[in-house]
Amino acid sequence: MSEFKKILFPLDLSSSSAAIVPFVKSLAHRYGARAHLLFVARVFDYFTSMYVPHPSVSQFEKEVIEGAEKKLYEFADEHFKDLQGTRTKVAAGDPSEEILAYIDEHGIDVVVMGTHGRKGLDKVIFGSVAERVVKASPVPVMVVNPFRVRGGKPDAEPAPAGGATRDDRRQR
């Protein structure tokens, strides 16, 4: 069995990220591992080919990265303050490419990440970062659907037509 000393937790800083924390911390405690939290801000280079001035795109990216750094630090402080040696990083670029680069650059042993579970047109439009990482990662990847975690409710599920929620249907 491999020893997991460095765990990468790529996150999107949405409310569903908190539902994945217990998996990261469980592995970290079990193996005495260090957690690496990575947020990737998408770059907006494609706007520079249009009539948007480059300085305004660059300034916007800078503000996004600064805001993400602050939010990531707060997230780490709230969820990982009891885990020694936790590292945080905000990168700019394509999320799957940046995650794969971080794995190589930092000698990551395992990745724990969430998926939005998109299907159909949503998946075609937005793609799947988790899917691209799983296919190209040189290390094991644990993918957690935060909307299916037992006992966890990261986001309220919209009520389907008819008004019953998934929880209501389970109780029947």
Place of tokens 């988790």: 130
Tell whether 1 is covered by a domain: no
Tell whether 60 is covered by a domain: yes
* Residues in the chain, overall count: 172
79-100 pLDDT, tens digit each: 999 999 999 999 999 999 999 9
Tell whether 46 is covered by a domain: yes
Tell whether 139 is covered by a domain: yes
Query: What pLDDT band is residue 60 in, cutting at 50, 70 and 90?
Result: confident
Give the range of the structural domain holding residue 35, as residue numbers without chain letter: 6-171
Specify the CATH number for the domain of residue 149.
3.40.50.620
Tell whether 82 is covered by a domain: yes
Number of domains composing the chain: 1
Tell whether 64 is covered by a domain: yes
Burial 129-143 (b: 16+ CB within 10 A, else e): bbebbbeebebebeb
28-41 pLDDT, tens digit each: 999 999 999 999 98
| Average pLDDT score over the chain | 80
* 55: pLDDT strictly greater than 70: no
Angle between helices 54-80 and 21-31 (to 10 degrees): 60
The beta strand positions in the chain, using DSSP E, are 6-10, 34-41, 87-92, 110-114, 141-144
Q: What is the pLDDT of residue 151?
A: 57
> Distance between CA atoms of 4 and 28, rounded to whole angstroms?
8
Across the chain, which distance is largest between two alpha carbons, in Å?
A: 57
152-167 pLDDT, tens digit each: 444 433 333 334 444 4
* 1: pLDDT strictly greater than 70: no
pTM, two decimals, is: 0.78
Tell whether 135 is covered by a domain: yes
